[in-house]
Structure 1
């Protein structure tokens, strides 16, 4: 769902419409939703809430952007990074996961946790859990041409942070 403006701006537009036309706010909200091509404000709000944060973030990225995910342990950095990789792969781009912490089974479990199936992406997904992961290794791996477009989502994961790099 692509809106003409963020939800707060649409609410502001509805408040202004309600004031200028002297109609109830709920009618103005429904009118703004109709202008967006959606039957009512409650449906617009529900659809906007259903879009996952990774999908919203991915929609704003362009090739070459870099996303750095940082938070305390257990806050969802790895899942967010995997969700970004899944969004990239859904768009036909390559996704790579570099980790010093997780085993292949744990990464596959994380895929299931976000409702994705590793098998559906075939060669678009690459897992590297080598003990020799370094910035140079990641740069070399990302420079290898693939049949897929040269846009990739790389996730570097360790116990305190994850980074997503697009190249």
Structure 2
């Protein structure tokens, strides 16, 4: 059943209704869901989430997976990473966003733009923009992370931007072992080389990943590439030990 408005707009209606009629937000959400033809808000949210590309992508990721998420600038790779976190939080799982590019205000604004109601998800979301971000730092910050936590790193090519950091290959290997040990899903947002030609193929692939430094791309269990609204998901044929 098609909703009359995006789900984050429906949430705003529910909050307004809650304030206007002085009823709990949960009851207001259920009333909005009833207007949309659903018996409860939880059912509406579950059905709506199942239909989105980000929800379908998250369903393909299992604890311990490393996902490479790539696109040229402006094609939604950061938003898709944040959408994966939102979908995880809807399921009661934690989401952590590491970035060397965005401020906290930028990230909250983008989260809300993709349906992340921070009033509801504050306890499930963590943001880190430290200049010290590298594999060791990330593993230290996630030492107590629960299984199923979705971690997004923005972005892959910046992990070894400092000469004092270990090689990118060393860092990704360490994070792969860490993800498997802790049962985390780690998503690496990645740049795509300028040589990628959309006239030749509709979506980039592993051959188009920009790699200023050597990296074994078979370390990634899955890849997802975006271009002009298209999404291409692939599973690695071989997994390193």
Instruction: Indicate yes or no: 2:151 matched with 1:154.
Output: yes
| Per-residue deviation, 1:122 | 2.3
Residue 131 of structure 1 corresponds to which residue in structure 2?
131
| Per-residue deviation, 1:128 | 0.3
| Per-residue deviation, 1:111 | 0.9
Residue 166 of structure 1 corresponds to which residue in structure 2?
185
Deviations 1:17-65 (A, max 9, x none): xxxxxxxxxxxxxxxxxxxxxxxxxxxxxx89x8211100111222112
- Relative to the length of structure 1, the TM-score reads 0.61
Unaligned runs of 5+ in 1: 2-46
Residue 90 of structure 2 corresponds to which residue in structure 1?
90
Secondary structure at 1:80 match in 2? helix
1:160 and 1:52, CA in 2 relative to 1: closer, same or farther beyond 3 A? farther
In structure 1, C-alpha distance between the alignment counterparts of 2:156 and 2:62, rounded to whole Å = 28
- Relative to the length of structure 2, the TM-score reads 0.43
Structure with greater proportional helix content: 1
Secondary structure at 2:142 match in 1? helix
In structure 1, C-alpha distance between the alignment counterparts of 2:53 and 2:152, rounded to whole Å = 17
Unaligned runs of 5+ in 2: 2-46, 159-183, 187-241
| Per-residue deviation, 1:119 | 2.3
Aligned residues: 116
Secondary structure at 2:97 match in 1? strand
In structure 2, C-alpha distance between the alignment counterparts of 1:160 and 1:114, rounded to whole Å = 25
Superposition misfits of 4+ residues, deviation over 2 angstroms: 158-161
CA RMSD of aligned residues (A): 2.8
Higher-Rg member (1/2): 1
Contact 1:88 1:153 (8 Å CA) reproduced: yes
